[in-house]
Amino acid sequence: MRKCVMNKEIRQLHHTLVDLVGLMNRPQRDSALLKEAGVSLDRALFPLLIVIERKGPIGVVELAELVGRDYTTVSRQVTKLDGLGLINRRPSKTDNRLREAVITAKGKEMTSAIDAARERMAAVLFAKWSKRDLQDLARLMRRFADDFQSLPMPE
């Protein structure tokens, strides 16, 4: 009996995740966030900038994997971010053959504006949530992401 209940819960979770990914990947959401932040940046570039700020210094291969895009596409986009002065490319401290992307002060200013806009938009979304519910959601999503990341990748 327990297995049947768990399968139902897993199915419900999967449907919810599909809905969330679809909602979060809508171009209109990115455009609204950038507008709220007062940032003028190609929608394709801003997720890369955010990941570089959060995870950097980071190589293009790892960055491409994290954002689910092709390496060559990400490489071109990183070059654009570099040209805009939002990131710098430098040799890796662990492997001089590799180049890593690192956020610049100008890039950090932009990601801070995006973060502030995201917080303002989230305040509207979570206005009717209790602090405890929001804390539980954040804690459980972090746990889910960490456990999901620890699963072995099929080859």
Mean of pLDDT over the chain: 90
2-150 CATH pick, 3.40.50.1980, 3.30.70.1060, 3.30.565.10, 1.10.10.10: 1.10.10.10
Q: Does residue 1 carry a pLDDT above 50?
A: no
Strands (E), the chain: 58-59, 87-91, 99-103
CA 99 to chain centre: 21
Q: Model confidence over 100-144: pLDDT tens digits? A: 999 999 999 999 999 999 999 999 999 999 999 999 999 999 999
Q: With contact defined as beta carbons under 8 Å apart, do 34 and 41 qualify? A: yes
- Report the pLDDT value the prediction gives residue 2, as an integer from 0 to 100: 52
Structure confidence at residue 21 as a pLDDT band (50, 70, 90): confident
pTM of the model: 0.82
**Residue-wise burial string across 118-129, b where 16 or more C-beta atoms lie within 10 A, e elsewhere:** eeeeeeeeeeee
Domain boundaries, the chain: 2-150
Query: Regarding predicted confidence, which is higher, 96 or 18?
Result: 18
Q: Mean pLDDT, to the nearest integer, of 86-102?
A: 89
Compute and round to an integer the Cα radius of gyration of the chain. Answer: 18
3-state helix vs strand vs coil in the chain, percent to 5: 70, 10, 25
